[in-house]
Amino acid sequence: MNLVESLRAHRLLAIVRGKDPAAALRTVTTLAEEGIAAAEVSLTTADALTVIRRARAALGPDAPVGAGTVRTTEDAGRAVDAGASYLVTPALVEGLAGVGVPVLMGALTPSEIERALALGAAAIKLFPASLGGPEYLSALRAPFPEVPFVPVGGVDAAAARDHLDRGATAVGVGSPLIGDAADGGDLGRLRARAAQFRAAIAQETV
């Protein structure tokens, strides 16, 4: 897959992390039904590889389903074998250039961003985005105008819109969107939150 094109098309990357594998799978498929198709299943999720494998089977070979919290090459290999079409790391991880799928690599500082790009990152997961906020993204885009940034961490619907207005390729959203759905929580509330985020993403830049 072309990760950057997919991120630009979807604008919102759902981060699914939970203690209940069946509920995590329902969360991924429910989000897809609600128009939020791009999802990463964190490897800290209970039985995460099975969730990825079943999500891939349910949503089809072209669905943008990836693996998150990838910290080692072993993590990467298992995730790709399970069907992940891209990987997301929380920090700089070496040895992922040859895994066969694109990597959204975690970085925060300019030096880390340069290192991530040198390691073959297709895009930068700006994490934690809450530390500097949208203003920090604006500052980074001056020296890195061509780098695809995906702010992650503490991004609610309002912050998502602000980051996109300041040039983010997409935003990654965990608990403000997922809530307790991946632990068995109410799917109706998940659908309501999904609608709220979709509305925020769809707003025109002011």
User: Is 125 assigned a catalytic role?
Assistant: yes
Confidence band of 204 (pLDDT split at 50, 70, 90): low
Q: Which residue segment(s) compose the domain that 62 sits in?
A: 3-202
Mean pLDDT rounded to a whole number for the chain: 96
Q: Count other C-beta atoms under 10 Å from residue 119's C-beta.
A: 17
How many structural domains comprise the chain?
1
High-pLDDT (> 70) share of the chain, %? 99
Both tokens of 99, joined, read 């895994």
DSSP letter for each residue of 137-190? HHHHHTT-TTS-EEEBSS--HHHHHHHHHTT-S-EEESHHHHTTGGGT--HHHH
In DSSP terms, 65 is beta-bridged to: 39
pLDDT in tens, 120-133: 999 999 999 999 99
Assign residue 129 a region: left if phi > 0, alpha if psi is -120 to 50, beta otherwise? alpha
DSSP structure class, residue 119: T
Query: Which pLDDT band holds residue 206 (cuts at 50, 70, 90)?
Result: very low
Omega prior to 128 cis, within 30 of 0: yes
Catalytic residue among 33, 94, 114, 125: 125
| Active-site residue, 19 included | no
Q: Which of 19, 33, 34, 40 is catalytic?
A: 40
Which domain CATH number covers 47? 3.20.20.70
Q: What is the pLDDT of residues 54-107, one digit of tens each?
A: 999 999 999 999 999 999 999 999 999 999 999 999 999 999 998 999 999 999
